[in-house]
Amino acid sequence: MSLLAASSTAFSKLSHQSPIRRTSASNDSRSPPHGRVVVARASPVPAADGVELEGELELPRWAGETSLSRFIGALISFKPLFSVMKLGARQLLIGNAEKANIPWREMTNEILNSDVYKEMESVQNPSLVYPDYYLNPFHAYDEGNLSWLAAAEAEAATMSIAKLAVPNAPTVDEANKIVRGNWLKAIENHLKQYSGNSEINDILDIGCSIGVSTRYLAEMFPSANVTGLDLSPYFLSVAQYKEKKKAARIKPIRWIHANGECTGLPSKSFDLVSLAYVLHECPQRAIIGLVNEAFRLLRPGGTIAVTDNSPKSKVLQELSPAKFTLLKSTEPFLDEYYLLDLEKTMRDAAFVSVRTIMTSPRHRTVTATVPHC
């Protein structure tokens, strides 16, 4: 029997084992939790209008410390098979994009053949020391986020993910409106309910990538000073290049090359800190560090807004074995993300009014507030 055939048989058996409903969050920043504590299912997470309800589990069977998850981890650790998976994941993502009429190759070549390289000198902090986890391969790129190809393909990938999240949307633009619109609405609702009508004067978008989420925030709050911060100077170069091609803003976006866990920015200097699709790429120690840094940076009454994959997503819980294996092969810290109780992590950092809402069939938005006094 071939390796792939054997894998398929094992998947079939393991996929039907009873899953662990939830593991307790760990405060150990060095590694994911090893002790499994089964707890009762939490109350259902509310959903934005038109968003499919959550699945029956606390997290997918293929995530965490289940037998299925460990089996997938063993497959991924086998280098020859990992190389095949990585290629398969990349081909699947590009294929899905092109089926949705996203001109992936044209968009990529447009960036790679442009003057984007001239932006590097002005955005890069040459003294920045990268955290060890950031040097791992990500998203089927050997150099992870530290490459021009990853930066050039980021916008097409973002569009593809939005369409994948809302497959019934007639166009990619419509899918983006739903995914981004529900995220922004969750922020708006939290601000109205918990910020005490505080003005949003200063916004920080941590892990801004090529600036897609940053620009949405700048458009929602046109009078605010908006800063995009990322560890990748390649992504920031594309962000700055694309921003220069747009009409000038009254308040230009500032781009900073820094570590979101230790930004070096002044304490209590922001009213809103956003992390959009960042945490699933981080080990638990980094997630905890990012949440703590956001708390330090926010003024009293300030808001943190995290949008990312939802462990309770019915769609993600029902992914086929082939798709969730390819997904995990490109996301080295996915298990750590799913095992961490994000809401508890925020409360441990002293945030209050922690709220979670499903903002797409695949994603949740978690918002919280720094106490007013």
Check: CB of residue 286 under 8 Å from CB of residue 353. no
Residue 289 contacts residue 29 (beta carbons within 8 Å): yes
Consecutive 10-residue runs of the chain (373 residues): their mean pLDDT? 39 43 39 33 61 78 82 80 81 89 96 98 97 90 93 95 92 94 96 87 98 97 97 98 93 97 98 98 97 98 97 91 83 93 98 96 96 87
Which tens digits make up the pLDDT trace of 122-139? 999 999 999 999 998 888
CA distance 297 to 278: 18
Distance, CA of 167 to CA of 175 (rounded, Å):
8
> What residues contact residue 10 under an 8 Å CB cut-off, 6+ apart?
71
Q: Is the dihedral of CA 51, 55, 58, 63 positive or negative?
A: negative
pLDDT score at 7: 40
Q: Please, what are the domains in the chain? A: 67-370 (3.40.50.150)
Q: Which residues contact 150 (CB under 8 A, 6 or more apart)?
A: 138, 139, 141, 143, 144, 232, 234, 235
pLDDT confidence of residue 48: 73
Dist. CA 204–CA 287, nearest whole Å? 16
β-partners of residue 228 are: 205, 255
Instruction: Show the tokens assigned to 131.
Output: 């955290």
Q: So what's the pLDDT on residue 329?
A: 83
What is the DSSP annotation of 51-105? PPPP-SSSS-TTSTTSHHHHHHHHHHHSHHHHHHHHHHHHHHHHHHHHHTT--HH
Please report the pLDDT score of residue 35 as a whole number.
Answer: 34
Q: For the beta carbon of residue 280, count every other beta carbon within 10 angstroms.
A: 15
**DSSP SS3 for 302:** strand
Q: What is the pLDDT of residue 171?
A: 94
Q: Looking at residue 83, what is its pLDDT? A: 80
CA distance 114 to 200: 35
Whole-number pLDDT of residue 2: 38
